[in-house]
Structure 1
Amino acid sequence: MNVFDNIKVADDEIFETIANSGDVRIERIISNGQTSPKGFFYDQDEYEFVILLKGEAELLFEDSGRIRLKEGDYLIIEPHRRHRVEYTSKPAIWLCVFYR
């Protein structure tokens, strides 16, 4: 398997679970220009390690402002750190690891 196989262009983001053990979930997300809905912030119970494998993106953190990501950039989002997606290129391919 290859993380770059079957890249599809869609009106909605594509979320694919690669692995899930209960305590850890790994997802590939394919964005094609999508952003978070107006006024919406993610507020997650778990940590999220996110790496942008392809493309560009911009996240907005409620507590600290914007972070621009390019290919290879990664970060760890702590539980309940409110954030939203402000921009994604076409495509932007994310690998996300959610853990407690």
Structure 2
Amino acid sequence: MKQSLFANLPDKLEKEVFEPLVRHQGLVIERILSKGHASPEGFWYDQEKNEFVLVVQGRAGIRFRNPEATVILEPGDYLVIPARSEHRVEWTAPDVETIWLAVHY
């Protein structure tokens, strides 16, 4: 069935929204919606799986703990985050929804 990453965007994004689109044998594909959101202060993701993230719309900054670096993603930019790489969302665009496509594998 045809669907769109741009469909059913909420009027307000009080918090980030994580929507699984596909789950199959350890693979998870999800749409993430952000607008002016960031990871909580002091929080770092430390995931057991690799993650491919693509910014479809909007902008975001992903900060890595080691080595210390911040990567800015704009529409069409993607990043592969290896498992156990501590990272956080530093910021997302406050004026437009940031639509992410994330693949956890």
- Give the structure-1-normalised TM-score: 0.96
Unpaired runs of at least 5, structure 1: none
User: Aligned partners of 1:72 and 1:22: how far apart in 2?
Assistant: 27
Q: Does 1:60 align with 2:66?
A: no
Task: Indicate the residue corresponding to 1:36 in structure 2.
Answer: 39
User: Aligned partners of 1:29 and 1:22: how far apart in 2?
Assistant: 21
Q: CA RMSD in A?
A: 0.8
Identity among equivalent positions (%) equals: 40
Higher strand share: 1
Q: Deviations over 1:38-83 (max 9, x none)?
A: 0000000000000000000001000131001100000100000000
Task: Indicate the residue corresponding to 1:49 in structure 2.
Answer: 52
Q: How many angstroms does 1:20 deviate by?
A: 0.1
User: Aligned partners of 2:42 and 2:81: how far apart in 1?
Assistant: 19
User: Runs of at least 4 residues of structure 1 off by over 2 A?
Assistant: none
User: Aligned partners of 2:50 and 2:78: how far apart in 1?
Assistant: 13
Unpaired runs of at least 5, structure 2: none
Q: Deviations over 1:8-63 (max 9, x none)?
A: 13111111000001320000000011100000000000000000000000010001
User: Aligned partners of 2:45 and 2:25: how far apart in 1?
Assistant: 20
Give SS of 1:27's match. strand
- Give the structure-2-normalised TM-score: 0.91
Which amino acid is 2:38 matched to?
T
